[in-house]
Structure 1
Amino acid sequence: MSRSARSPLLLAGLLAAAGVAHFAAPRTFDAIVPRALPGEPRTWTRASGVAELALAAGLALPRTRKAAALTTAAFFVGVFPANVKMALDWRDRPAPLKAAAYGRLPLQLPLVLWARSVAKNAEGRS
């Protein structure tokens, strides 16, 4: 399998793992839900977990890959405020945890670009 053929499946795997984690360890995600969002953090944790699982399924299927990849890019932009909240909340934690929280911030850009690349490659195959 070529690298470009594996890319959407790897992205789908990343999203599926993250989606499952939202249900397996929800407290971690509840804590980073921005307070400005209405309702309970757990509702947002579950909704984002469901969204990640749905996006993973969409990326895995060639027929829905382009739309899922573009939606995934938007999703990565949409969850950025949670990463900012985490970085702010963890600024007084031990260095390794602080580094992990701060490291999530610039990671969003390559994730967005990866999703867009998947969409672009799906376009060429339609």
Structure 2
Amino acid sequence: MRRPPSHQLLAGLLAGAGAAHFLLPRPFDAIVPRALPGSPRTWTRASGAVELALAAGVALPGTRARAATAAAAFFVAVVPANIKMAADWNERPAPLRNAARARVPLQIPLVLWARKVARDAA
């Protein structure tokens, strides 16, 4: 079986994450940094909408390069939420704590992946 192209996988990841923000918002609300103004739910919905828009942009050839570049920036922008989650989950059982901690460095390959999709589309 042939693997889907990288841009389709990135679009799928973004679409799935975006949908999750609306279907299961509470875990996302919990990791919104308290320094942000407004309610966590507003930030959860906004970030979910951004991910869905980025997914659509990455899926379409005419907007792929710009959307993938924006996705790379988005992956950087959510690092504070991942750091908050890692800190908040410090007292959880080891598997959960380690998964939360792993989210922070995992942003690096996501950024690099999005940048590669952007380069390949240009």
Partner SS for 1:112: helix
Determine the structure 2 residue equivalent to 1:41.
Answer: 40
Determine the structure 2 residue equivalent to 1:122.
Answer: 121
Unaligned runs of 5+ in 2: none
* Deviation for aligned residue 1:18: 0.2
Residues 36-75 of structure 1, C-alpha deviations (whole Å, 9 max, x = no match) = 0000000000000000000000000000000000000000
Determine the structure 1 residue equivalent to 2:70.
Answer: 71
> Partners in 1 of 2:11 and 2:86 — Cα distance?
25
Determine the structure 2 residue equivalent to 1:10.
Answer: 9
Residues 62-114 of structure 1, C-alpha deviations (whole Å, 9 max, x = no match) = 00000000000000000000000000000010011101101101100000000
* Deviation for aligned residue 1:28: 0.4
Determine the structure 1 residue equivalent to 2:110.
Answer: 111
Partner SS for 1:63: coil
Determine the structure 1 residue equivalent to 2:100.
Answer: 101
TM-score by length of 2: 0.97
Q: Cα RMSD over matched residues?
A: 1.1
Partner SS for 1:45: helix
> Partners in 1 of 2:9 and 2:60 — Cα distance?
13
Determine the structure 2 residue equivalent to 1:55.
Answer: 54
Moved over 6 A (4+): none
* Deviation for aligned residue 1:23: 0.5
* Identity fraction in percent: 70
Unaligned runs of 5+ in 1: none
Equivalent residue pairs, number: 121
